[in-house]
Amino acid sequence: MELLISHLFLQQYWWIIISILAGLLVFLLFVQGGQSMIFSLSDNSLQKTIVVNTLGRKWEFTFTTLVTFGGAFFAAFPLFYSASFGGAYWVWIAILFSFIIQAVAYEYRSKPGNFLGQKTYDVFLLINGSVGPFLLGVAVATFFTGAQFILNEFNHVRWATGWHGLEALLNGRNLALGLAVLFLARTNGLLYIINSVNDYDLIEKANRKMILNSLSFLVFFLFFLITLLVSSGFAYDPASETVSMEKYKYLHNLLQMPLVLVIFLTGVTGVLYGIIITVFRGSRKGIWFTGAGTILAVISLFLLAGFNNTAFYPSAYDLNSSLSIHKASSSLFTLKTMMFVSFIIPFVAAYIWFAWEAINRKRITAGEMQEEGHLY
């Protein structure tokens, strides 16, 4: 007997999956956040080695999640993939390049005969740690502010400017979310280092940096959030398949989807609680609260962008070229087949959790770094 599942259900199902992947990705950017402070956190080569190896044990999780995130978009919403990845390609090339040099740095930084020297690879890690989170935040911000593309009747995408995505850097709201993601990654990176190392000096430095980085995150995030809720949004009419500007669209989405509102408030509360217990109580467990809060907050933002008849990838150049989950999705057959494949996700998540716990069973010490045979 054929399983009767509607196309709309599958479109929403896959948008939820992508939202979860986005939340995990932003949380795992703590690796990049820590890398962006590789020089300012350490006073000597031993401390730098501790930082690099603490983060290096998790860098593959972030890279794999990024690839999975892009792959899910390609399979579930191919029209978005061709519009964004094929149109705004300079932004995505810069993001991918920063992750490629990260992989090279971890692979060769401590290898014998490293003719470029460790400092070169440390700079690679710094570039990835700064550029990666910032540009990912800018790219996601265009889900709310729009991009400069045109979609013709044959679904061929043409970019309206010669900048191919770099024009997003001229929008203040895009920059605000980019900086918010960067400082959130730095905050989570500090929390992770505090949780994972046994080095008093390093923990003290991380604690001192917490206040400035967490406050910077809050300033940029609040600016983006407030301007988002009071601005007009891109409303999609499924009957006419047209897009129009609706005043306070994202505020309406938040109020009309109470579950999303609860997820968002829970996420923000978790982020703030993790920061507070670290800064004011000296706790070393803040990463778990801030990490969970990060995942929930990002999920809620993606649901705001894609649900409740909203164009999740709007065209600021031509409104009716904007993409909704209905317009951009794959066929019913493809989404249904992918749904069965997605049932392995809980098992993959369980494996990741097991691997995470095994790696973090023992906190890193200076003595271990001096004795360890394999170092990043």
Contacts of 366 (CB under 8 A, 6+ apart): 46, 47, 50, 199
pLDDT in tens, the chain (376 residues): 345 689 999 999 999 999 999 999 999 999 999 999 999 998 888 889 899 999 998 999 999 999 999 999 999 999 999 999 889 999 999 999 999 999 999 998 888 777 788 899 999 999 999 999 999 999 999 999 999 999 887 788 899 998 999 999 999 999 999 999 999 999 999 999 999 998 889 999 999 999 999 999 999 999 999 999 999 999 999 989 899 999 999 999 999 999 999 999 999 999 999 999 999 999 999 999 999 999 999 999 999 999 999 999 999 999 999 999 999 999 999 999 989 888 888 887 888 788 877 777 777 877 777 666 567 7
Residue 369 is predicted with a pLDDT of: 73
Nearest to 253 by CA among 314, 304, 311, 323: 304
Alpha-carbon separation of residue 147 from 119, 305, 353 (angstroms):
38, 14, 37
Cα(107)–Cα(7) distance, rounded to whole angstroms? 44
Residue 124 is predicted with a pLDDT of: 96
Q: What is the pLDDT of residues 49-106, one digit of tens each?
A: 899 999 998 999 999 999 999 999 999 999 999 999 889 999 999 999 999 999 999 9
Please report, in angstroms and rounded to a whole number, the separation of the first and last CA atoms in the chain: 54
| Alpha-carbon dihedral sign for residues 226, 73, 61, 168 | negative
Cα(297)–Cα(319) distance, rounded to whole angstroms? 27
Residue 370 is predicted with a pLDDT of: 67
Cα(49)–Cα(29) distance, rounded to whole angstroms? 19
Q: Which amino acid is at 59?
A: W
Cα(313)–Cα(310) distance, rounded to whole angstroms? 9
Q: What is the pLDDT of residues 286-327, one digit of tens each?
A: 999 999 999 999 999 999 999 999 999 999 999 999 999 999
Residue 1 is predicted with a pLDDT of: 36
Contacts of 162 (CB under 8 A, 6+ apart): none
Residue 95 is predicted with a pLDDT of: 97
Nearest to 243 by CA among 178, 187, 317: 317
Alpha-carbon separation of residue 326 from 124, 157, 277, 285, 320 (angstroms):
40, 17, 43, 41, 13
Full-model pTM: 0.94
Nearest to 321 by CA among 245, 242, 240, 376: 242
CA 269 to chain centre: 19
pLDDT-above-70 percentage for the chain: 98
Residue 371 is predicted with a pLDDT of: 66
Residue 7 is predicted with a pLDDT of: 92
| Alpha-carbon dihedral sign for residues 134, 249, 331, 345 | positive
Task: Report the 10 Å Cβ neighbour count for 79.
Answer: 16
b (16+ CB within 10 A) / e for 80-104: bbbbbbebbebbbebbbebbebbee
